[in-house]
Structure 1
């Protein structure tokens, strides 16, 4: 949740998570959830080009910046880890949630067919 909020903002994250939104690729790009879209036959070339840009930056500089940018979220995740795990387990094992997830999985299977 924090990572998504840092990426697309509070309101977009809140709506997406509460409504269980699934974004079409163009919509994910529009809100900033993904950086770019590529045709399937061009994905490897585009990924190679993108990673080359990142690898051109010295590792230590990239790592320091990344750590600084994500420190607050990482610290929060570390300090709340056990309570987050317990909350998730209690939530996900509820009968109503299991039933909803089962229905959701069936819907996704039908979409693929």
Structure 2
């Protein structure tokens, strides 16, 4: 499963085709990662986005730290990752974690389509080449160290302390639903 998640992120981040995330619900953990791997992010108001794995005792691999740092800047990424911070839509917009906000799903889809329409005037080969240059370092790290990332994540997730944290987190989520 972890190999599949990392492989999806690798393909999404390295895609020669433009990508956009239309976020219509909470995007935490892997959901946030999928969004970070897209070229453009539009998020409906009143939801949360972020990477809170550190709260559970799970360490972030280099590529996640680099993508987050490239997106919102080093210091903001450092503070957010170390705190396991989840951003409300307006906060995510302010720090650059998302590019636009929207009142609802339909408006978000229109904004994502407008992003794609803007790209139609850009020569695709130049866009593909520039994107590749910008993302090359992170993509190489992802490819070169995928086995290490997955093994490390599995080791941490199976650790009794992390299992306890995950169990507490799930219990808290269940209490919030009730």
For Structure 1 versus Structure 2, the TM-score category normalised by the shorter chain is 0.7 to 0.9
Q: 1:74 to 1:88 in 2, by over 3 A?
A: same
Report deviation, 1:39: 0.8
Residue of structure 1 equivalent to 2:96: 32
Report deviation, 1:11: 1.7
Residue of structure 1 equivalent to 2:85: 21
Residue of structure 2 equivalent to 1:51: 116
Higher helix share: 1
Higher strand share: 2
Most deviating of 71-80 and 101-110:
101-110
CA RMSD of the aligned region, Å?
1.8
Residue of structure 2 equivalent to 1:97: 162
Q: 1:106 to 1:68 in 2, by over 3 A?
A: same
Matched, 1:4 2:75: no
Q: 1:64 to 1:94 in 2, by over 3 A?
A: same
TM-score, scaled relative to structure 1: 0.86
Query: What are structure 2's unaligned runs of at least 5 residues?
Result: 1-64
Q: 1:37 to 1:70 in 2, by over 3 A?
A: same
| 1:37 aligned counterpart, secondary structure | strand
Residues 43-78 of structure 1 deviation map (CA, whole Å, 9 limit, x = unaligned) = 121111111112332221111010000111111222
d(CA) in 2 for partners of 1:9 and 1:70? 15
Query: What are structure 1's unaligned runs of at least 5 residues?
Result: none
Q: Which structure carries more relative contact order (alpha carbon 8 Å, separation 6+)?
A: 2
Report deviation, 1:110: 4.7
Number of matched residues? 113
| 1:53 aligned counterpart, secondary structure | helix
Report deviation, 1:98: 2.1
